[in-house]
Amino acid sequence: MSSVANSQLQLRCGLVLKNRLVKTAMSEKMAQGLLPSSNHEKVYKRWAEGGWAALITGNIMVSDKYLGSNEDVAVTGSVSNLLKSWPEWTAVTKNQNCHMIAQLNHPGRQSAIGAGKRSIFSKTIAPSAFPINLGDNIVAKLICMLVFGTPSAMTRYDIDVVIAQFTQAAQLAYQAGFQGVEVHAAHGFLLSQFMSLNSNKRDDEFGGSTDKRVELALRIIRSIRREVPKTFCVGVKINSADFKDEEGMTQMLRHIELIQQEEIDYINLSGGSFEDPQMMSTNSSLQPSSTRSRSSIREGFFLRTSAEIRRRFPNLTLLVTGGFRSRNGVAGALDSNACDLIGLGRPAVKYPELPNKIMFNEDIGDDEARFDVESAPGGGWLASKVRSVGAGAETPDASSNSLQPHLEKIARSIPRSSTSSYSHPGQENDHLFKAVCSTCFALRDCVNADNHVQRKARRPPDLPEIHYGLIASGNRVLKDASTRDRWAKEHGILCFEREAAGVMNILPCLVIRGICDYADAYKDKTWQNYAAATAAAYAKLLLCHTAPSRAESKTVIDDWDSSLYIYGSGDGPPAKRRRA
C-alpha cells in the first residue's frame, strides 16, 4: 500500500488535503431551478464520509444564459436564493475534513439549443464562428447544425462579461463556504475553445499565437485572485485533447508555463470533448494489470503528458484525472512522482467510500484493491451514436435478425383480423421500376411496364435492411423516379418522406422511417403497415441497444438508505437499480 497516497499535501494557498484522492468533477444533473437540490447534499455527504480529501463539483455555469444542461447548477440573477442553497450544499462536508471545490465553467459553443435562458433562435458564443465538428458524414453535420448551430464570434464586450461572470462566481463560492474553485479550461468548453488552434481563429489580443490564445484564461485567473483571499484555492483544469503531436505538446507546455506564473494552486490534467471523448476510451491498452509498475501506465490516460509537465515544472502541483481503476495504478502514478493528486470520477460514483473501504483498507490486498467501472459514451448518447455511424459502425446491428422478435410482438399485440396487414407482404409485391416509367401514372399508360421492372436479389422476408442517411421531408407526394434519383445524387438523400413535413429544424430530431415504396409513379399502399411496424420495431431495438451500461450516466438517490447509484454503473443488486 502506497504511503504517498495516504499522505497529506499542502497547496500553495495553505489548504491541507488529508490524502491524495480527489473526487473529480462530473455532471450531477440534479439541479432544480439551477440551484443545488437536496440530492446534491445527500450525494456529497456520502462522498465526504467516504474519506475523500476533496470533492470537485460538477459544472457550475457562470451564466444561466448558456448551460451544458438545464439540470446544471448555475449563477442566477437571484443571489439571495443562491447564497441560501449553496451554503446548505457545502455544509455537509464541514465535519469530515473534506474540502469542496467549485468547478466554474462556461460551455461556449457546447451549449445546445434550449439549454439556458436564451431564445432558441439565439446563437451560442465562441472565440470564432466555427461550429462543433462531430464528423464528416451528413448525419453528424445535421446533428451539429440542429443541436448546437454555428456560434457567434465573441466581441470584446462579450469577453469582458465572461471575465466578470467567472469572477462573480468565485466570489459567491467563497461566500457560500467552498474552499476553492477550479476554472474549467478543458473538455472543449469556452476557455478550452480559446486555447485551441482548432477553434480559435482570432487575430486580436485573444488569438493568433500560442500566448494570446491563453490570454482569456489568464485574465480570469488574475481577476479571481484579486477578489478572493489568498487562502482560497484556485485550480485550473486543462485539456490534452488538442495537443497530440510534438507541436501541440509545445503549445500546451507554454500555456502551462504562463498559467503557473499566476497564483494557482494546482493544474488538473484531463482530456476529451464532444468532438473527441478521450476519457471514455475502451481501448484494451488502457486496462490495468496486477503489476504496479505497469498499472500506472496502462490506467492513467494522461500520465505520459503529466510526466513531461512534471519534468518541466517540478514545483507545480499536478492532479491527473482519468482511467485509474486500482490501488496499484494510483500508487504507481504517485510513487513515480508523475503527479501529486489522483482524480477519480466514475469509480467515485460506483464506490462512494472508495478511499476508506478500498484504497486505504489494509484487509484488502493490493491486487484485489480494484474499482473497475463499465465504459460509457462521451459527449452524450446521441453524439456517441453519430460518431459510431461516422466511423462506419451501423449500430444497432440487425444482421442477426434482432428485429424479428419485436416485429412478432407487434403482430401479437394487434387484433387477429389485422395481423396479416402488418406482416411481410411477400417479395412478389416488391416492384422497382426503371426511371423510364416516371411519367406513367400508376403505370396505367405504360404498355411495357413488365419490361421496366428491375430484378433484385431475393432477401429473407424476416431480415429488413437498416440504412442511415439524410431524409428529405416535404408537404407533397413525390411521384417521379428521375427527380428522386437526381436529388439523391446531388444531395445524398436516402429517403423521401411523403406528406410528412413534421420535423422541426430548431430542435434535435432522430427520425426513423419504414420504407413503403420507391417515390415513383407506382403508388401502392401494400407495404405501408409493414413499414410502420418495422420502424416501430427498430425504434424499440435502438432503445434496447442503449442498455443501462451504455446510457448516459444519470444520478439517482435511493430514498431508503441514501445509497448512491448511477444509471449504467452496474452498482448494487438489480432490485435497487432505477430505470429512467
CATH number of the domain encompassing residue 166: 3.20.20.70
Q: What is the mean pLDDT of residues 189-201?
A: 95
Does 69 have pLDDT greater than 60?
Answer: yes
Do 304 and 211 share a structural domain? yes
Q: Is residue 92 part of a domain?
A: yes
Q: Is residue 576 part of a domain?
A: no
Does 261 have pLDDT greater than 50?
Answer: yes
Task: Please indicate whether residue 255 or residue 520 has the higher confidence score (pLDDT).
Answer: 255
Please name the helix (run of DSSP H) or strand (run of DSSP E) that holds residue 73, with its range, or none.
Answer: strand 73-74
Do 192 and 294 share a structural domain? yes
Do 410 and 340 share a structural domain? no
Do 412 and 355 share a structural domain? no
Q: Is residue 578 part of a domain?
A: no
At residue 352 the predicted structure's pLDDT band, cuts being 50, 70 and 90, is very high
| Domain that includes residue 105, residue range | 9-377
What is the pLDDT at residue 291? 39
Does 567 have pLDDT greater than 60?
Answer: no
Q: What is the mean pLDDT of residues 165-191?
A: 97
Do 302 and 156 share a structural domain? yes
Q: Is residue 342 part of a domain?
A: yes
Q: What is the mean pLDDT of residues 458-469?
A: 67
Does 299 have pLDDT greater than 70?
Answer: no
Does 235 have pLDDT greater than 80?
Answer: yes
Task: Please indicate whether residue 99 or residue 469 has the higher confidence score (pLDDT).
Answer: 99
Residue 291's region, left for phi above 0, alpha for psi from -120 to 50, else beta, is beta
Do 431 and 365 share a structural domain? no
Pairing of strands 564-566, 555-557: antiparallel
Q: Is residue 563 part of a domain?
A: no
Handedness of CA 105, 109, 110, 116 (dihedral sign): positive
At residue 155 the predicted structure's pLDDT band, cuts being 50, 70 and 90, is very high
Q: Is residue 371 part of a domain?
A: yes
Distance CA 292, CA 326 (A): 9
Do 337 and 215 share a structural domain? yes
Q: Choose the final residue of a domain: 323, 358, 377.
A: 377
Do 434 and 344 share a structural domain? no
CB 371 within 8 A of CB 357: no
Q: Is residue 384 part of a domain?
A: no
At residue 473 the predicted structure's pLDDT band, cuts being 50, 70 and 90, is confident
Of 275, 255, 95, 115, the C-alpha closest to 191 is: 255
Q: What is the mean pLDDT of residues 422-451?
A: 64
Do 154 and 265 share a structural domain? yes
Bridge partners (DSSP) of residue 453 are 433
At residue 383 the predicted structure's pLDDT band, cuts being 50, 70 and 90, is very low
Do 409 and 335 share a structural domain? no
Do 344 and 247 share a structural domain? yes
**Number of domains composing the chain:** 2
* Preceding amide of 396 cis, omega within 30: yes
Distance CA 46, CA 93 (A): 9
Q: Is residue 394 part of a domain?
A: no
Q: What is the mean pLDDT of residues 154-174?
A: 98
pLDDT above 70 coverage of the chain, percent: 70
Q: Give the number of other Cβ atoms within 10 Å of residue 298's Cβ.
A: 21
pLDDT in tens, 308-340: 999 999 999 999 988 899 999 999 999 999 999
CA 384 vs CA 317, 395, 423, 507, 576: distances in Å: 33, 11, 33, 18, 27
Helices (H), 300-402: 303-312, 327-335, 346-350, 354, 381-390
Do 251 and 107 share a structural domain? yes
What is the pLDDT at residue 285? 34
| DSSP tag of 154 | P
- Give the pTM: 0.67
Task: Please indicate whether residue 462 or residue 126 has the higher confidence score (pLDDT).
Answer: 126
